[in-house]
Structure 1
Amino acid sequence: MRVTIGSTLFAFASSGFLYLIPPQPATPWIRSAFRLWQGHAYVVVVKYPLAEIEAARLYEDGKPLGPANSDPQEITLQGKGLYRFYRETDETVPVLMFSSSDNTDPNTNGRKYMIK
């Protein structure tokens, strides 16, 4: 009986402690491997709040890319820094489809990509 009460109190205290830790903000840096979609288009799942994704902008080494919300076919065929955020109906996180500014592979071009 004492073990059960002690375990329950410990569980409550532990979960209460977790509420004291501030939540970590979504990181603006994209550090995942980019997957080649087709043509010049790459896709990556991003950790960014869904409520703010419509206003989010993509940067390559601190320089803005775009325009945002470009047509996926234009991203694939033209590239040159076009991008689009979207969310599949069965997904809870946004996906970024984009091309680098010079259509090089973002996995090997040495540039850093950030969302603001």
Structure 2
Amino acid sequence: MATKEESSERLRVSIPKVDQSSLDWWRTQHDVSLSVRMLIRAEIERNGYVDTAFQPVVQQPRRGRRPSDPIEESDEDAPTITSLAPPAPAPVIPATPPVLTPVPAISDTAPGFTIDNIMNG
């Protein structure tokens, strides 16, 4: 029967003391070995067998309500930026001063002036 030491490989991990978030995460794990292996499996599913620390950086699309540039996904799952035509400028409408038409003055001393005549036309 194989002992525990024979059935697994022992590896060492060093975390710098200044990496407080990693140390806090490490301390909260019930089974650190299982947690690290699950993280490794998830990384393999996402990116395959690559050197995670030294893989090239690809800028992700912006997140939020409205992206800055529309992104079109291809069959290869590689984002490509589609070209955009600049928006058409709004038409320029020259500002002209309004034409004022004179309104005849109503005099309360004019014959037949009553509020009823004004209101009822």
Higher RCO by CA contacts (8 Å cutoff, separation 6 or greater): 1
| Structure that is richer in strand per residue | 1
Which of the pair has more CA radius of gyration?
2
**Which is helix-richer, 1 or 2?**
2
